[in-house]
Copies of this chain bind each other. A is one copy, B any other.
């Protein structure tokens, strides 16, 4: 494994647990160092990080939680998250120097990870943008795929509503639903996003929830006969309005509730009785339970990307120093499409 090499390693550190909306000042950049050698007998892999993924679920890791599906960040340590990286050294026989991989990595230039713990996948198809492995070809893509096909039990001709519809997951749910022959409406938080939903992703209709004083009325406008499937990304008031407009035997895939993540006391949801009167199934899911479907998903999605039948919009910022701003921006909806941080070109 050659001579021992220590080099500088810029990192994004979480300074402390966060309450309320996260701010850039909750994080700081630190110049650290790292040894780029795999210790004798170790099965770690040394990564050069190329792209880092900003995802809403990361908000939950910024506070002290116990028994959650994923650990809290450690104040004083680098943030971790999904990313795309290049293998510099490997103590694991499944990965070789030079491999491109995606999985859990650190918000830093170089990371030392254990492949099994970090869900590391080798990237075989490089004929697509590498950053896609933080989005359409990574966790958000799998989330849209599993959430829509496995949780929503969709049928051709059904009516589908997607909130946060231009986001990393929503834009794909809409396209999957259209592929199946559903009527699809999305909500988003700006005119630009609403235009994107209709012009780029093929949603039948879209609206800006910030401009609707009455979400119930907005939904009735687009779903006069009700909603069969709701792909839930936001929670709170939107969920309450959706419950009023679900059809009998409707399904709600609970994927995220971003409107609630920064509230000390979440909004109460008042219309749950409609789950009963309308015989609705509402089901939460976490993508970590479904990675066994990943190769099946790739087989389906890669040809569609290459043929242009499925498109994906990313919001890429350059430089690790801009990662805190990018992450914080998710919670005000500043990003358009999947938020990615480019740390280094390959």
Q: A residues touching B (Cβ–Cβ < 8 Å)? A: 60, 68-69, 235, 239, 248, 254-257, 260, 265-286, 289
Contact = CB atoms under 8 A, between A and B. Distances in A.
A280 B283 contact: yes
Given A278-B284, A284-B277, A270 B268 contact: yes
B275 A284 contact: yes
Given A235-B272, A257-B276, A280-B284, 20 more contacts: A60-B277, A69-B277, A239-B272, A254-B272, A254-B276, A256-B276, A257-B273, A260-B273, A265-B270, A266-B270, A266-B272, A268-B268, A269-B269, A269-B272, A275-B282, A276-B286, A277-B284, A278-B284, A279-B284, A283-B283
A272 B238 CA distance: 13
Contacts of A275: 254, 282-284
Contacts of A274: 284
A285 to B, nearest CB: 6
Give the 10 A-B CB pairs with smallest separation, nearest first: A268-B268, A275-B284, A276-B284, A281-B283, A266-B270, A254-B275, A282-B282, A254-B276, A269-B269, A69-B277
A255 B284 contact: no
A280 B283 CA distance: 6
Contacts of A267: 268, 270
Contacts of A255: 276
Contacts of A256: 276
